Each structure stands twice: as structure tokens, then as C-alpha cells.
Amino acid sequence: MTQVTILGAGDMGTALATPLAANGHRVHLWGTHLDREIIAVLDAGGPHPRLGTPLTPGTTVFGNDRAAEAISGSDVVVVAVTSSAVGAVIGNLAADLAEVSAMVTVAKGFDRDPDGAILLLPGVIGLTYSGPVVAVGGPSKANEVAAGFPTAVVFAGGDPSAVATCAAAFATPAYHVERSDDPVGVEVAAAMKNAYAIALGIADGLERATGHPHHNLKAALFPLAVREMGLLATHLGGRRDTVEGLAGTGDLQVTITSGRNRLLGERIGTGEPARQAAASLTRGGTTIEGHAAVGFGHEIATLAIAAGALAAGSLPLLDALAAILTGGAPPLQTLWAAIAGE
């Protein structure tokens, strides 16, 4: 029995206490300043405001000002803050994290280094933390993880021993952990599936707006999304088979059933201007991770094409998403052209 600290008391951070506690670990759950209300409710013994479930026994909550105390004594620290905050949070806690053996990130997405270059989140963490980072991918709705329902994920990192240690801390009969040596593949899939979920959400919105089914369109978008995630992953040094597993195909499958990325697409599909839909959904400070991922992914692809590393036009669906989100391109025609090559 050891102690594990989770940074971020959102849905997924809090949910991960379930497998950890099932393995007998003490869990320290630390909330950022955005989690103040959540921490207050949990501290008072109430259910998590979003998950709706009470805190897993064996979990201690820590407010934003008690990070050092929350981290002290933990070998493994889990990063579960919103992706755009990872750099700032880990940078601020660098001194407290110096002794930690390994970090596990369930946050996913891209950010930039101080020179403006695009990094995957393990790279962002690596700017101030020098130990091994393990990336988590795969289809995980937090409420199901919290409830202990069957969930299969992949833990990936360049340090097999850290991957094994972290996987062992989390793996339970209900929380199955595959190990992988391809963190790039996992991170690219984890980030980009949110982007592509917007496209499939648009098909849902077209159905809502017209009353006409668009199952064939939606299903045709799916393998194209997986293919393009594979191209981006291999371009960045990851593997296609990682994308075709739990981290890409699996996570895309769950991401298109609900959530804010799908919802952004749905609203665009119903005819709402993309900028207006995105602005309305990001009110209150929450970000739509897929919207940012379209921008980062498209920038990576554009640079790769300019450098001759990817063929022009090899990511038509990502081009279509960028045109729809930032250029106001008509959703149905633009998505369909990505499939039909018109």
C-alpha cells in the first residue's frame, strides 16, 4: 500500500480514486483553484457535483493552497487538470514534484514550449519535471470508472519500469491496463480524437436540423478520422497500431456518444455559426479540447506538408474541420468533400 496524489478534482481525477483505492492505496486528491467548489462539497461529505458519487473511502481531499502537503510522500502523481493548465500547474509545483518517481497524465492535448513549438502533454510536463511520464489513453467515461464498471485503458511511456509500476498501481479486475511503449501514439490519439469527434457530432447535428438520418455519413467519417490520427501519430514518431487500438478507435467511439466536443459539432451541424457555437460553449472558462486540437493538429500537418514529410491533401478531414471551425465553410458539403474527394 502506497500513497498516490491526483492533481485535479474534476470528473476523471476524482474517478481514478476508485481503482487506486481498490488496490489499497491512500489517495490524495488535490483541487486547483477551478475545483474550489468541488473540494468544498467533497470536504463536507457530499457527492462530487459532476460525478454525482461520494468520495471513494481512503481518499483525502486537499484545497488549492495545500499542494505541497498533498504531494508529500507520494511516489506517483497523476495529472488530471484541464489540458491547457498542465504547463502552469506542473511548473508551479516543480519543487514539490522533484522527488516523485513517476507522473501519470490523463490530461490530453497539445501545448507550446516557451519558443512556441508544439508539444504533447508529456513534453509539457517534461519542461519542469525530469522523471518518467506515463500517458493514459483509451475509452474512459469518468462516471463508469468511478463506479467501478469495466474499463480498458492503455498506459504508455518510454520507461518500461515506470509504466509497469504505474500500471500495477491502477490495474484492477474492472480497470484493465494495457502497457505500451508508444506514448506518442497514445497522446496523439487522445488529443485528436476530441478534434475528430467534432466532425461526427456535425453529422448528429445535421440529423437534428433536417430530420433526415445521416448514419452513413457519420460512419464514413469514422475510419477516415482513425486513418488521419494514424498519419499524424506516425509523423510524430508514434505507431498506427496504437491509434487503431483503445487509444484511438476505442476512445473515438466513446467520445462521439456524448461530451462537449461532440456537442460543438452538433450545434454546428444544426446551422449555428461555428465561431458562435464555440464561443457559447467556452463561456465560463471551460475549453473545448477538440477545438484547440484541430488548430494544433492542423498546424502540425501544415508544417509537415511544407517540409515534405506528409503529402499535401493527406489529411482532408482535418482540413475540413479547420475550414468549418475557422473559415465558416458549410459543414455538410465540406465534410462530404473530405470523404468523396471532390
**209 binds its own copies per the rule CB under 8 A:** no
**143 binds its own copies per the rule CB under 8 A:** yes
Give the active site residues.
Answer: 193
Query: How many chain residues touch its own copies (CB under 8 A)?
Result: 44
**168 binds its own copies per the rule CB under 8 A:** no
Q: Which range in 27-35, 120-128, 134-142, 179-187 contacts its own copies by CB under 8 A?
A: 134-142
CB of 223 to its own copies, least distance (A): 4
Number of C-beta neighbours around residue 178 at 10 A:
17
If you search the block for the grid coordinates 500500471, which residue do you land on?
A: 167
Sign of the Cα pseudo-torsion (132, 8, 108, 94, in order):
negative
Cβ within 8 Å of residue 318, ≥6 positions away: 195, 228, 232, 294, 297, 298, 301
Give 92 or 253: the residue with its C-beta nearer to its own copies: 253
Stretch 1-40: interaction string toward its own copies, x if CB under 8 A: ----------------------------------------
**47 binds its own copies per the rule CB under 8 A:** no
Of 147, 111, 143, nearest to 127 (Cα)?
A: 111
**332 binds its own copies per the rule CB under 8 A:** yes
Q: Where are the alpha helices (DSSP H) in the chain?
A: 11-15, 17-22, 36-43, 67-71, 86-92, 94-97, 121-126, 142-147, 160-170, 183-210, 215-235, 240-243, 251-255, 260-269, 274-281, 289-306, 316-327, 331-340
Q: Binder to its own copies among 36, 149, 279, 328 (CB under 8 A)?
A: 149
Give 88 or 219: the residue with its C-beta nearer to its own copies: 219
- DSSP-derived 3-state class of residue 306: helix
Chain contacts with its own copies (rule: CB under 8 A): 138-141, 143-145, 147, 149-152, 173, 176, 212-220, 222-223, 226-227, 244-246, 248-251, 253-254, 257-258, 332, 336, 339-342
